[in-house]
Amino acid sequence: MRQKLKTKLLIVELWGLGDLMIATPFLRAAAERFDVTLLAKPFALDLRPHFWPAIEVVPFTAPWTAFRHKYHLWRWPWLEMARLQRRLSGKHFDIGLSARWGDPRDHFLLKLSGAKERLGFPRLGSQYFLTQALAQPDPQSHRYEYWRVMGQALKVELPPREKAAPAAPRAQATVLIHTGAAQRVRVWPLKSYQQLARRLRDQSIPVQIACDADQRAWWLAAGEKDVATPANASELIALTDRAGTFIGNDSGPGHLAALCGVPTFTIFGPQLPEWFIPLHAAAEGMEGKACPYKPCKDYCRYPAPFCLWNVSEEEVWARVKEFVAAHSPLAAAN
């Protein structure tokens, strides 16, 4: 008997590492029922073997996801986009979807893909490009809830956020501190991270510092000889696998650590913990200071992001020492 072919599903998630990790429980569940193709930034190719090996990844860096000058249309890769459209339409997708709220660009892309059914959360008339417009969840809810609503529409059951990632005890004692972030306004001062690492080491807790490439010189000058600078997602996963807990900014590495089963502590600034806390039952976060423009989507109106930089070392340490004590075997033994 001929085996029934799976329904072809196109998933569009063109933004950052954190966004893609929040989508991961849906991607895994969808791959069990559908023949899934994921349109995402090239780093998804590194993530694929670790998180969703059954999914085909089509790499694409959408010009509208740039932080600045995103609408300089003369710089857009029009030839590449035309080739992408032909590649997607040639796959004859049965269903296409985007769980990003109200992004007409994603919805237009779904239309160009030729998918017969197209699901999304419409805004600014983008329902014209969709065949099924979904009602968005409570605006105050976590971004993961958009994927749960999408799952309900496709009869793909997803667990609640608190159960979306493994939460088994870890034997590793090392605290991985990652000081990078895609945008400067999400980076807690490096000097503060240095003092946090010193306090942990004073309690005989091993610390591994990791950072973005543009922070490496600062850490070396500060005397951190073993600073890690992961060049891709695979190297970041390898670091995470050796960690018992993770501390960092509101950025992709924390979300990746959570999906690897590592308890995370996130220092938030312009964004809200209830929207973007990583998907782990033991994830904790320190909310940034109040600001009349918060959440500001990283376009800070002030010379410095005081919502984050005014979070003191003492405030963070008071929370971190309890967080590490709850999850580190060495801290528990002291």
Which comes out higher in pLDDT, residue 171 or 40? 40
pLDDT reading at 199 higher than 90: yes
Answer CATH for 175-333 from 3.90.850.10, 3.40.50.2000, 3.40.920.10, 1.20.1560.10: 3.40.50.2000
pLDDT score for 3: 58
- Most confident range (mean pLDDT) of 74-78, 239-243, 299-303 is 239-243
Which is higher by pLDDT, 160 or 170? 160
Helices (H), ranges, the chain: 17-33, 44-51, 78-89, 104-113, 144-153, 190-202, 216-221, 233-241, 252-259, 273-276, 306-309, 313-327, 329-333
This prediction has a pTM of 0.92
Q: What is the DSSP string of 124-162?
A: TTGGGG-SEEPPP--TTS-THHHHHHHHHHTT-----GG
- Whether 142 has a pLDDT exceeding 60, the answer reads yes
Give CA–CA dist 174/243, Å, rounded: 5
pLDDT greater than 90 at residue 325: yes
Q: Is the peptide bond before 295 cis (omega within 30 degrees of 0)?
A: yes
Q: Give me the pLDDT at residue 168, please.
A: 75
pLDDT band at 70 (very low <50, low <70, confident <90, very high): low
| Domain ranges within the chain, ordered by starting residue | 7-163, 175-333
DSSP state of 332: H
- pLDDT 10s digits, 265-280: 999 999 999 999 999 9
Residue 103's pLDDT is what? 81
The answer to whether domain 7-163 and domain 175-333 are alike in fold is yes
pLDDT value, residue 76? 74
Rounded mean pLDDT, 194-212: 96
pLDDT at 299: 84
Which CATH entry fits the domain spanning 7-163: 3.40.50.300, 3.40.50.2000, 3.40.640.10, 3.40.470.10?
3.40.50.2000
Please name which of 61, 29, 30 lies closest in space to residue 44, comparing C-alpha atoms. 61
The helix/strand/coil state of 59 is: strand
Sign of CA dihedral 271, 275, 276, 277: positive
pLDDT tens figures, 115-136: 999 999 998 888 899 999 999 9
Cα separation of 109 and 88, whole Å?
10
pLDDT at 1 over 60: no
Is the pLDDT at 254 greater than 70? The verdict is yes
> Is residue 273 within 8 Å of 290, Cβ to Cβ?
no
Which two three-digit tokens encode residue 197? 């690492």
Tell me what pLDDT residue 211 has: 97
Cα Rg, the chain, nearest whole Å = 21
In this prediction, residue 194 carries a pLDDT of 98
Across the chain, mean pLDDT equals 91
